[in-house]
């Protein structure tokens, strides 16, 4: 997008990565927050030089990746001001002079906040998100707003991850080619980037870390697809004030980084020192002492830990059949099974007690009405009259919370209601709005916040019963576990419903299937392997323990590598 690229292209015309390297040996590529802190303290680099390298990398690679919607035009000026403070001996925060990026559904008042939607292309909110203020208080440089699936993937059923009408398709650095299959030949990437957040810029060192948001999988999925460490916090751990919502029941911001230690640093900054009066959920979890998650970075953290293996569905094809079918559900392919076998062996080697199996009761329940696998959020064509067998919590929450958010914008709001947004989209289809339709917005807008409240509350109770009470909580309690271990990020759905935390860690690559029938790749086309993480999940407010487990695993494996096509 031209607005995003104008500044870095101008910088690149003056300073190429090779020139920066010639002037200063320090490189931002794969550098951690601690690396940058140390280099700045030792005067081996400056914040200006770090930002210059970051902008040069954006200019060089953004055209192939679409990781950025807007670059902060004040990034260099902010870096200069922080460098001046540093020379005066004033280090004002743990991210002083270090560039990070925000998903473009998080309010900033010096850049637009678009949500990837054409209707919001020029929206500059009248207030900053609480987490934006926290990052600024830590003296981070918010260098850019990142790509995302439009409105956090609650616009259309079937819309590709990381697509939006404003900036097109995000591409994956591990395989930045377009999908050649006729069935999918619309410009989308052959290897998904995950969504709705983007981890692409962090993966290729445009910045050291980024903040995503998740309602169900939108931090975990892009972390997995970009071989990043990600923390999906307990809902309320990080304030949602100033974040374009889907539903307050499940929405949460969280960090995406190249290491667990960086994610811990970021979470320490993102969480408020006191509850946010604009977000009641921030009262739920107690702060760690000193508001510091790095104290849980224990390389021996797996020793004595009890880790459960939820075999049914998540590992083995043994989930009860769907209604009307006789085939069991779920399971891993042979390569994934071998990968997870090696993970489990390593956990035992590192001193963990592995409880295998530690199945989740609501997954194995043979009563169809009590099985979590049969209870999904209403989506697509599941409008009123067709939504008896799904949870209305998403579509109800979107109507309730999106209209409240629009009202908070005052005169800055380009549209005043969800209904107006849908009408605007229809009127602007020919210029690129709603390429994949807007079925999710449609089924949300038909909800009546007053009339449908009883149905919503009943469905939320069932969400919590199946995902938490008879789900994750039951498995943890029955087996006295510290956490459950999930392949990839397969806990996203069941963990999201009750707002539970997960920490995901890079581990391996797995082959991408050649596909069959209409999904088969053309002869001679070889898809590249996809990243494959492992994830630790537990109940509300368990981030300290999950960070400890994830860090110990990461330090024992250190499998994160940089994508070779973007040196």
Residues taking part in catalysis: 103, 196, 218
How many C-beta neighbours within 10 Å does residue 48 have? Answer: 17
Rounded to 10°, the helix 260-270/130-137 angle is: 110
CB 508 within 8 A of CB 529: no
Closest CA to 123 of 422, 405, 434, 423: 405
Pairing of strands 209-214, 163-164: unpaired
Structure tokens at 253: 């911001």
Structure tokens at 117: 């939607």
Q: What's the DSSP call for residue 177? A: P
Q: Which helix (H) or strand (E) holds 230?
A: strand 229-232
Rounded to 10°, the helix 260-270/543-557 angle is: 160
Phi-psi region of 480 (alpha: psi -120 to 50; beta: other; left: phi over 0): left
Handedness of CA 16, 19, 21, 24 (dihedral sign): negative
Could you tell me the CA-to-CA distances from 468 to 75, 256, 545, 554 in Å, in that order? 43, 25, 18, 27
Tracing tokens 């949460």 back to the chain, one arrives at 252
Phi-psi region of 200 (alpha: psi -120 to 50; beta: other; left: phi over 0): alpha
- Which residues are within 8 A (CB) of 281 and not within 5 positions of it... i.e. 6 or more apart? 235, 236, 240, 248
């Amino acid at each position: 997008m031209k607005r995003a690229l104008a500044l870095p292209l101008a910088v690149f015309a003056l300073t190429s990565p090779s020139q920066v390297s010639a002037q200063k040996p320090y490189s931002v590529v794969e550098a951690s927050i601690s690396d940058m802190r140390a280099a700045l303290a030792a005067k081996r680099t400056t914040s200006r030089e770090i930002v210059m390298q970051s902008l040069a990398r954006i200019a060089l690679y953004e055209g192939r990746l679409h990781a950025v919607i807007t670059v902060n035009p004040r990034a260099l000026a902010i870096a200069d001001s922080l460098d001046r403070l540093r020379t005066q001996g004033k280090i004002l925060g743990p991210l002083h002079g270090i560039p990070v990026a925000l998903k473009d559904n998080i309010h900033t008042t010096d850049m637009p906040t678009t949500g990837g939607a054409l209707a919001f292309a020029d929206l500059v909110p009248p207030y900053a998100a609480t987490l934006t203020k926290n990052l600024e208080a830590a003296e981070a440089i918010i260098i850019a707003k990142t790509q995302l699936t439009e409105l956090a993937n609650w616009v259309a059923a079937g819309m590709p991850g990381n697509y939006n009408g404003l900036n097109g398709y995000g591409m994956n650095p591990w395989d930045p080619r377009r999908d050649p299959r006729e069935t999918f030949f619309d410009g989308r990437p052959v290897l998904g980037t995950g969504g709705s957040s983007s981890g692409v810029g962090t993966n290729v060192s445009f910045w050291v870390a980024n903040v995503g948001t998740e309602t169900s999988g939108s931090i975990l999925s892009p972390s997995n697809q970009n071989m990043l460490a990600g923390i999906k916090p307990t809902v309320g751990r990080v304030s949602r004030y100033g974040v374009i919502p889907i539903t307050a029941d499940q929405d949460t911001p969280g960090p995406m980084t190249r290491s667990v230690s960086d994610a811990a640093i970021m979470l320490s900054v993102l969480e408020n020192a006191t509850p946010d009066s604009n977000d009641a959920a921030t009262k739920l979890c107690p702060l760690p002492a000193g508001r510091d998650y790095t104290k849980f970075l224990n390389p021996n953290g797996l020793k004595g830990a009890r880790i459960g293996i939820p075999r049914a569905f998540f590992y083995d094809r043994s989930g009860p059949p769907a209604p009307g079918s006789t085939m069991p559900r779920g399971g891993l392919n042979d390569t994934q099974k071998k990968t997870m076998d090696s993970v489990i062996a390593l956990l035992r080697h590192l001193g963990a007690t592995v409880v295998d199996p530690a199945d989740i009761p609501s997954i194995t329940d043979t009563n169809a009405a009590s099985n979590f696998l049969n209870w999904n959020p209403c989506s697509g064509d599941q409008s009123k009259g067709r939504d008896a067998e799904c949870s209305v919590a998403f579509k109800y929450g979107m109507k309730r919370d999106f209209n409240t958010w629009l009202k908070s914008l005052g005169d800055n709001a380009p549209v005043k209601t969800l209904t107006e947004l849908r009408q605007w989209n229809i009127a602007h289809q020919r210029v690129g709005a709603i390429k994949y339709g807007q079925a999710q917005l449609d089924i949300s807008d038909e909800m009546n916040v007053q009339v449908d409240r009883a149905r919503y509350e009943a469905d939320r109770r069932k969400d919590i019963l199946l995902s938490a009470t008879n789900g994750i909580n039951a498995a943890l309690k029955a087996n006295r576990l510290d956490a459950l271990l999930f392949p990839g990020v397969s806990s996203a759905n069941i963990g999201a419903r009750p707002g539970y935390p997960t920490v995901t860690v890079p581990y391996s690559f797995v082959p991408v299937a050649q596909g069959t029938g209409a999904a088969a790749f053309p002869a001679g086309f070889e898809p590249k392997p996809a990243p494959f993480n492992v994830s630790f999940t537990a109940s509300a407010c368990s981030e300290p323990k999950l960070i400890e487990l994830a860090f110990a695993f990461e330090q024992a494996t250190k499998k994160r590598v940089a994508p070779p096509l973007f040196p």
